[in-house]
Every structure is written in C-alpha cells, then in structure tokens.
C-alpha cells in the first residue's frame, strides 16, 4: 500500500471531497454488509466535518452510532473498542483492494476515534498479477464413516493445508504500459521474480507459519534434543501425544498418525509431539511443557498386528489418570471404519464443551488460576448451553476485549459470532444489529481460520438466517471436509440438511453424532427430534423430546408438537401455554421464529400449521 503523506492546512481536502470518499467506502460490498461499522464511520466523519470532533468519544459513538441506550458505560463495556478495531481493519482492506486508486483516504488512527483525511500519493502502475486459478465452486459432502478425502480431493490430509476460501473483494487489474524490446521485457520480469520470491518468503514466514503452528503443535528439536511446543497464545491447553511400551506395529503407527491428524483439526487445543526417538525416555517427556499427556500403548503387552491398544489421558501436573479406553482393531478386513469411529468417540469425550478437558480447565479457573481468552470462549459455550445471562454477558465482554487486544484471535471471533447468532435466533425481538454482527464476526473467523471447521459451520448458520441457502450448504460441506470428527460439525450440517428438506441424508449425520456422544446436547436432540417428527417416527421423536426437559422455547415446541401428533390434547395445551407465557410472539408468528433456522418452505408450512392448530387448541 503506497505511503500517504500528511497534509498541511492548504492541502486539506474539502468537505465535498471527504463526503465523496465516504460515499465510495460505504457503497463497497463489505461495508454494505456491515451496517454497524458503516454507522460508526459515517458518525465520526460527519461529526468531524461539522466541527465537533471534540464530541467524538466512546460514549457518544455507542449511543449515537451503535444504537446503545444512555445507560451505556464505556469503562465496563468494550463494544466501541471492538468495532473501532474492525473498522480499521476494513478500511485497510478497502484501500488495499478495490479502493486503492481512490484519490482520498480516510484513516482512523490507533488509540483515537477522530478520523484523518489524506490524499493518496500516486505511484507507477503495477504489472497485472497472474490470474488466480479458480477454486472449486463446492465440495462434495463426506458420507458418514468415510474419510474426508474420499469425496473431496482437496480435503485436508496430514501435513497438507487446504486452500483458503476467497473472501477478498475483487480487484481491478492495473493497465500495463506498452513495452518493446527483449531487454525492456526481461528487466521487469526479473524484478517480478525477485518480488515474487520475497513475497512468498514473507507469506511463508508470517502467514503460512501462523496457519500451520496450531496444527503442528511443535517446533523442530533444539540443540539439546527437546522439542519446544508452541506457547498457547490465548490459554489453549497443550496435549502431548506419545507412544509407550512395546515396539510400534503398523496398526499402532496408523492409529497414532490418525489420532494426531484428528486432534490437530481442533483449534482450541495445541498438539505437542515428543522429539524423534524420545517417546520412551521418561526424562525427555517430563521436560516437555504440556498440560495433558495422551498415551498410546499395547493394552495386553503384546505387539501383534491386531493387538488391542490402550488410549489414556493423564494430567501432566499430578499424573492422575483422567480417562482411559481400549481400542480393539477389526479382526479382519479394513480396520479404518472401526478405528475412525473409536477416535470420533474419544475426541468427543475429551474435547466437546461438556468433555473432560474443558471441564478441568473451567475447574482450574474456579480454583483461582488466571482466566485467559480461551476460558472466555469456554464460558460462552457454557452460557449457551445453560442459557445463563450473567455468564453470557461476562464471556462476551471478555471476548470483545480479547479480539480488540489481538485481532488475530480467530477462535474468539467464532465464539462471538455464535453468541450473536443465538441472540438473533432465540430472542423474541432480537437487537437490530444482532445478525449483522454475527455475520461480521463469522466472516472474520473464516478469514483468520481457513482450516477452522467451526468458523465455517458458524458462517453456514448465519447464511441460513440471512436466506442464502446455497452458500450455507457450500460452507457446511467445507466444514465437514475440514473436520468430520467434530460432532458439532456433524450436528450442524445434518441439521441444515434436514431443515432444507434432505431429511434422510441429514438424519444419517445426526445419528453418527448421536452414536459418538454419551449424552445428547440440546442442538443434537432438537435436530434429531425434527428429523424424526417430519418422518412421522414418533417413537424416536419422543426419545429425543425426553432429553429436552427444561423450559427453553424449542424444548416446549418439540413437546407440544409431539403431544399434538399423539392426540394428547391436555399435554399439548399445557406446553403451548408455557411457550406463550415465555414468549408471546410464538402465538402470533411461529413461522417467523422457525424461519431463522429452517430454510425449506414446505417444512415451515407444515410446522407453522401444526403450531397454529395447537395455538387454537390452547385458546379454547
């Protein structure tokens, strides 16, 4: 990006020029899709032009631009700092992309909210960049039980980084100057090669390294022979994977490699490996900083090709055994399905929000250990699970501060997107900017985490709520290809398929998630209920409804629908009455609520009619 020189009073742009520049920015696609930061930018620019720059404070921005009420406290709430960081990032993106030829730039200096207006210094036109090879328009979904690469050749394999989705704005090509003569053509070509090599080196050093380190979880061994695990930047727990006991067999080696591959797909942990040859050296293992040790050993002291393996998780501090399970390879034939199903169940038990590792990490904070951004994300998931408003507000504030302090915290953006998405879906009258903020955070999560399955399925759900069903399906397929071992991916993608009318296919993914989970999380229970109800499988629907026992709105909806289908009038009347008492909007517009999560018109029509019939029953 060319350097812009500061202007003196004689060079100050006119108000007309500034407003034209503001209009160009606000008309760009990303600002059109982000009303929150557009309102922020418009307010600070217009207030400055009105000669009232001294009024631009955190409080006035929150109240005048972001729609907060007059009770807003800028000292305890970080929304303005968070939106300012997003605005700076989007302005930089605009002026480096489709706005790079704009004659005037609008800047928002760090630490200030008063904008600056700077003329753009023209530079010689650049040679056009080589045309990018287009990425596939969509990725085939991976059927339950299959390897990700079976349906998608571009799916991630161990050590291979999949292509990042294209999210940057289209950039007009520069007009090349006419050249003649071999020398004139050779010199720019040589310069272009040098620039390209330098650019790749910078990309490898700064971007590729930041993508690969969380998955690798370690650096090369140092001179002393010990690996140096990557320090978790946001408090993520480190898990050391080691093989112990007898000599490795083909089965144990394949199992270990697959386990490491699967664990590396979860961005909320750091996977640590011992140095080559250090697996059997207790001193070496003990010297590696880690929080947990996940060991693989021959369960019965033998090293046969089909010998059972023991997977054990221990606390690295106390050496207490936290969990253990035995894996028995298939007696004959292809062992892959049995192995992958075992690993799916294991990582579900260890890493899901109610799993062993998150539970221990929450307990450590409650015992007085420092609360890090990772723990704020855990609190956000916990608040969503139990609908705890106080925990939710605390987690949101913590995450907003975390992403403002470190704009590269992708997992934090995803957690914030999910909080705002839930606010939009489940609130009777959601805040006007709730869905817009969920979209902005989810997009940022995908940009920062091109290999993050959770970022992709979160953006999928946002696009469903916005009505972009085809785009949502593509994002869901991508999420599944990135991590088919996360039951949240299986649940969300399966639920999306059910909601768009592909009920049998979606239910297959939901059943796979259910087999891997010891308990039914609410989203999985609701999705399975909906699939079974739509297929008139009322016995399975009843089993799922029994798992949704509190007065959460969709729990009441499921029990009311089930009672109505079974002609249990009194139970249906009681459930509907409780639903209306909790949120009266369900009486007038059940379709409007359901449309936030269900895109199929036929399914919306059926459920709306069923609920309206029950509404009439309750009013009699």
Residue 543: CATH number of its domain: 1.25.40.10
Q: Is the pLDDT of residue 387 over 80?
A: no
Same domain? 440 vs 569: yes
Examine residue 23 and state whether it is found in any structural domain, yes or no: yes
pLDDT band at 167 (very low <50, low <70, confident <90, very high): very low
What percent of the chain lies above the pLDDT cut of 70? 74
Examine residue 113 and state whether it is found in any structural domain, yes or no: yes
Q: What is the pLDDT of residue 485?
A: 95
Q: What is the pLDDT of residue 361?
A: 92
Q: Give the residue with greater pLDDT, 302 vs 551.
A: 551
Same domain? 436 vs 319: no
Same domain? 319 vs 437: no
Q: Is the pLDDT of residue 337 over 60?
A: yes
Of the ranges 189-198, 418-427, 473-482, which one carries the lowest mean pLDDT score? Answer: 189-198
Task: List the one residue out of 284, 296, 281, 285 whose CA is nearest residue 249.
Answer: 296
Q: Is the pLDDT of residue 216 over 60?
A: no
Same domain? 404 vs 469: yes
Q: What is the pLDDT of residue 232?
A: 52
Q: What is the pTM of this model?
A: 0.66
**CA–CA separation, 210 and 228 (whole Å):** 16
Count of structural domains within the chain: 3
Q: What's 64's DSSP letter? A: I
Same domain? 335 vs 413: no
Q: What is the pLDDT of residue 177?
A: 33
pLDDT in tens, 465-504: 999 999 999 999 999 999 999 999 999 999 999 999 999 9
Same domain? 307 vs 403: no
Task: Please give the C-alpha separations between residue 23 and each of 39, 41, 94, 454, 520, in angstroms, as whole numbers.
Answer: 12, 11, 13, 35, 50
Examine residue 161 and state whether it is found in any structural domain, yes or no: no
Examine residue 423 and state whether it is found in any structural domain, yes or no: yes
pLDDT band at 518 (very low <50, low <70, confident <90, very high): confident
Mean pLDDT of the chain: 78
Same domain? 344 vs 445: no
Examine residue 109 and state whether it is found in any structural domain, yes or no: yes
Estimate to the nearest angstrom the gap between the alpha carbon of 128 and the chain centroid. 34
Distant-in-sequence, close-in-space partners of 504: CB < 8 Å, separation ≥ 6: 535
Examine residue 194 and state whether it is found in any structural domain, yes or no: no
Single out the residue in 301, 330, 352 at which a domain terminates.
Answer: 352
DSSP bridge pairs for 598: none
Distant-in-sequence, close-in-space partners of 255: CB < 8 Å, separation ≥ 6: 296, 309, 327, 339
Q: What is the pLDDT of residue 251?
A: 72
Same domain? 417 vs 546: yes
State the Rg of the chain over Cα: 27
Same domain? 415 vs 514: yes
Same domain? 511 vs 458: yes
pLDDT band at 237 (very low <50, low <70, confident <90, very high): very high
Same domain? 323 vs 411: no
CB atoms within 10 A of CB 393: 13
Which residue in this structure is represented by tokens 């140092």? 222
Task: List the one residue out of 441, 437, 421 whose CA is nearest residue 381.
Answer: 421
**CA–CA separation, 436 and 151 (whole Å):** 33
Q: Are 225 and 268 in contact (CB under 8 A)?
A: no
Q: Is the pLDDT of residue 605 over 70?
A: yes
Q: What is the pLDDT of residue 559?
A: 94
Q: Are 473 and 606 in contact (CB under 8 A)?
A: no
Q: What is the pLDDT of residue 174?
A: 34
- Give helix then strand counts, H and E, for the chain: 27, 7
Of the ranges 142-151, 218-227, 326-335, 347-356, which one carries the lowest mean pLDDT score? Answer: 218-227
Phi and psi torsions of 134, nearest 5°:
-65, 140
Q: What is the pLDDT of residue 188?
A: 45
pLDDT band at 9 (very low <50, low <70, confident <90, very high): very low
Q: What is the pLDDT of residue 11?
A: 64
**CA–CA separation, 433 and 507 (whole Å):** 33
pLDDT band at 208 (very low <50, low <70, confident <90, very high): very low
Single out the residue in 352, 385, 419 at which a domain terminates.
Answer: 352
Q: What SS3 state is found at 2?
A: coil
Structural domain that includes position 612: 395-619
Examine residue 104 and state whether it is found in any structural domain, yes or no: yes
Find the mean pLDDT for residues 403-432: 88
Single out the residue in 65, 89, 119 at which a domain terminates.
Answer: 119
Find the mean pLDDT for residues 558-573: 94
pLDDT in tens, 288-308: 789 999 999 887 655 555 678
Distant-in-sequence, close-in-space partners of 582: CB < 8 Å, separation ≥ 6: 551, 553, 556
What's the CATH code of the domain at 264?
3.40.50.11830
Examine residue 231 and state whether it is found in any structural domain, yes or no: no
Q: Where are the beta strands (DSSP E) in 256-388?
A: 270-272, 292-298, 309-315, 321-327
Q: Is the pLDDT of residue 63 over 80?
A: yes
**CA–CA separation, 511 and 491 (whole Å):** 9
Distant-in-sequence, close-in-space partners of 108: CB < 8 Å, separation ≥ 6: 41, 44, 84, 87, 88, 91, 115, 116
Of the ranges 231-245, 523-537, 560-574, which one carries the lowest mean pLDDT score? Answer: 231-245
**CA–CA separation, 263 and 70 (whole Å):** 46
Task: List the one residue out of 379, 375, 398, 374 whose CA is nearest residue 389.
Answer: 379
Same domain? 443 vs 554: yes
């Amino acid at each position: 990006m060319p350097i812009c020189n500061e202007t003196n009073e004689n060079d100050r742009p006119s108000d007309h020029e500034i407003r034209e520049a503001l209009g160009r920015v606000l008309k760009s696609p990303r600002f059109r899709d982000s009303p929150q930061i557009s309102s922020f930018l418009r307010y600070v620019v217009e207030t400055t032009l009105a000669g009232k720059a001294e009024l631009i404070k955190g409080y006035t921005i929150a109240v005048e631009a972001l729609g907060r009420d007059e009770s807003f406290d800028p000292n305890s709430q970080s929304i303005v700092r968070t939106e300012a960081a997003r605005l700076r990032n989007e302005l930089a993106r605009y002026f480096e992309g489709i706005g790079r030829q704009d004659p005037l730039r609008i800047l928002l200096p760090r630490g200030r909210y008063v904008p600056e207006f700077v003329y753009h210094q023209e530079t010689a036109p650049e040679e056009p960049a080589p045309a990018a090879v287009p990425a596939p328009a969509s990725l085939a979904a991976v059927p339950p039980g299959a390897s990700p690469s079976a349906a998608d050749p571009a799916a991630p394999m161990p050590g291979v980084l999949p292509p990042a989705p294209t999210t940057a704005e289209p950039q007009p090509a520069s007009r090349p100057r006419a050249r003649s003569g071999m020398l004139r053509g050779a010199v720019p070509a040589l310069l272009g090669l040098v620039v390209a090599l330098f650019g790749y080196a910078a990309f490898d050093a700064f971007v590729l390294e930041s993508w690969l380190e969380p998955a690798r979880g370690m650096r090369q061994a140092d001179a002393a022979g010990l690996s140096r695990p990557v320090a978790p930047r946001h408090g993520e727990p480190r898990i050391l994977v080691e093989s112990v006991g007898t000599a490795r067999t083909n089965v144990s080696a394949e199992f270990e490699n697959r386990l490491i591959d699967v664990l590396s797909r979860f961005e909320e942990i750091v996977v640590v490996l011992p140095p080559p040859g250090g697996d059997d050296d207790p001193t070496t293992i003990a010297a590696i900083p880690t929080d947990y040790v996940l060991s693989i050993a021959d369960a019965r002291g033998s090293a046969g090709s089909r010998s059972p393996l023991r997977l054990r998780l221990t606390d690295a501090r106390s050496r207490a055994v936290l969990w253990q399970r035995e894996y028995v390879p298939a007696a004959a034939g292809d062992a892959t399905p049995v192995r992958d199903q075992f690993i799916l169940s294991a990582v579900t038990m260890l890493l899901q929000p109610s799993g062993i590792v998150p539970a221990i990490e929450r307990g450590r904070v409650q015992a007085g250990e420092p609360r890090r951004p990772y723990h704020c994300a855990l609190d956000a998931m916990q608040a969503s699970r139990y609908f705890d408003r106080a925990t939710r507000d605390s987690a949101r504030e913590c995450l907003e501060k975390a992403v403002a302090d470190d704009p590269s915290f992708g997992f934090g953006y995803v957690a914030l997107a999910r909080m705002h998405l839930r606010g939009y879906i489940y609130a009777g009258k959601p805040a006007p900017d709730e869905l817009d903020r969920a979209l902005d955070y989810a997009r940022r999560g995908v940009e920062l985490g091109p290999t993050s399955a959770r970022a992709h399925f979160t953006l999928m759900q946002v696009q469903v709520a916005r009505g972009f069903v085809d785009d949502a399906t593509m994002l869901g397929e991508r999420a599944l290809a990135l991590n088919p071992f996360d039951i949240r991916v299986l649940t969300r993608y399966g639920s999306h398929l059910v909601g768009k009318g592909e009920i049998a296919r979606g239910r297959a993914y939901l059943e796979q998630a259910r087999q891997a989970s010891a308990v039914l999380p609410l989203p999985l229970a609701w999705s399975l209920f909906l699939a079974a109800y739509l297929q008139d499988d009322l016995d399975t629907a009843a089993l799922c409804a029994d798992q949704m026992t509190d007065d959460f709105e969709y729990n009441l909806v499921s029990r009311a629908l089930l009672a109505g289908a079974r002609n249990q009038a009194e139970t249906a009347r009681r459930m509907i009455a409780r639903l209306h008492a909790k949120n009266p909007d369900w009486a007038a517009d059940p379709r409007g609520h359901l449309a936030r999560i269900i895109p199929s018109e036929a399914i919306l029509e059926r459920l709306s009619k069923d609920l309206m019939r029950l509404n009439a029953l309750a009013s009699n």
